[in-house]
Amino acid sequence: MNSQARPQPATPPSMDTIKAKMKATWMDGDYVAFARFMEPGAIEILNSWNIAPGEKLLDLGCGAGQIAIPAARKGVDVTGVDIAANLIEHANGRARSEGLKSARFEEGDAESLPHADASFDVVTSLIGAMFAPQPDKVASEMARVCRPGGRVRMANWTPQGFVGQFFKALVRHVQPPAGVPSVFLWGDEETVKTRLGKHFSKITLTRKHYPNWTYPFDTPEVVELFRNYYGPIKRAFDSLDAAGQAALRKDLEEVYAAHNEATDGTTRIRGGEFLDIHAVRA
């Protein structure tokens, strides 16, 4: 008999540990500097959602206010929630500087919202709540705080699109936390129907491409922008040695080059596919 002890499988991290790490990741870098290049497209998506002035809107994973601030400018009564305290501080500063009294931002968890039942007419998430580690809790909370007849509007990256391929390249170098479902399942139609079907009716799912997604520099500089400012990529680079960083940079540059339709030294993303979700609260 082999007397050597068999190696024991690593204990998966606790959910509290996973969430603490996620919060630190999103607070790292400078998401505001990164997100400004995507805000024009975010506004186009917001406009397509037809949220009326006076409606009460909850924006989950609101970031620096990419859609919440433009919605408030149109007279929507906006509450933004995000786990990253520095982004909430920035969004509140933007609202104050513009005199937007109908916009407020607060630190919070999309899986356990500090709001009363049926508080909102619309619950939105633009590439935000899809990153929460317990998606069924997110779906349940969205339903709880949305009034009957109200609606959810989400935009989530698909696994087949550019961002799905970008993260596929990333996980070849840095593994995601164990026990957490892929964030890209929020971009899969059948999964979304299962998650929302318990609470919502008239679920409409449409694949679209992120509009107006451009950078005024070439793809290596775009990767450098991510390296310096986008928390998940910054953390990934910081976790690798020099050889690992070089390999990751090469893979990410190849993904960007394959999806860049510009030929003038700038970067214009082709294939930034997302799933546009419209669901009515039962």
Question: What would the pLDDT profile of 17-43 be if each residue is shown by its tens digit?
Answer: 999 999 999 999 899 998 999 999 999
> Confidence class of residue 178 from pLDDT cuts 50, 70 and 90?
confident
Nearest to 61 by CA among 141, 4, 5, 116: 141
Here the tokens at position 54 are 């006076």
More reliable by pLDDT, 11 or 188: 188
Q: What's the rounded mean pLDDT across residues 88-97? A: 97
φ and ψ at residue 118, rounded to 5 degrees: 55, 40
Q: Roughly how many angstroms between the first and final C-alpha of the chain, as a whole number?
A: 61
Mean pLDDT, rounded, of the chain: 94
> Confidence class of residue 10 from pLDDT cuts 50, 70 and 90?
low
Instruction: Please indicate, yes or no, whether the overall pTM of this predicted structure exceeds 0.95.
Output: no
Domains defined for the chain, CATH in brackets: 15-157+177-212+272-281 (3.40.50.150)
pLDDT given at position 177: 85
Distance from C-alpha of 196 to C-alpha of 279, rounded to nearest angstrom = 8
DSSP letter at 239 equals T
pLDDT given at position 2: 45
Q: What's the rounded mean pLDDT across residues 55-70? A: 97
Model pLDDT for residues 114-134, shown as the tens digit of each residue: 999 999 999 999 999 999 999
Cα–Cα distances in angstroms (integers) from residue 182 to residues 19, 198, 229, 237, in the given order = 15, 21, 23, 21
pLDDT > 60? residue 84: yes
C-alpha torsion 47→39→70→88, nearest 10: 130
pLDDT given at position 191: 98
> Confidence class of residue 8 from pLDDT cuts 50, 70 and 90?
very low
pLDDT > 70? residue 3: no
> CB–CB of 35/207 below 8 Å?
no
Nearest to 87 by CA among 111, 60, 112: 60
Q: Which residue has the tokens 């990767």?
A: 223
Residue type, 110: A
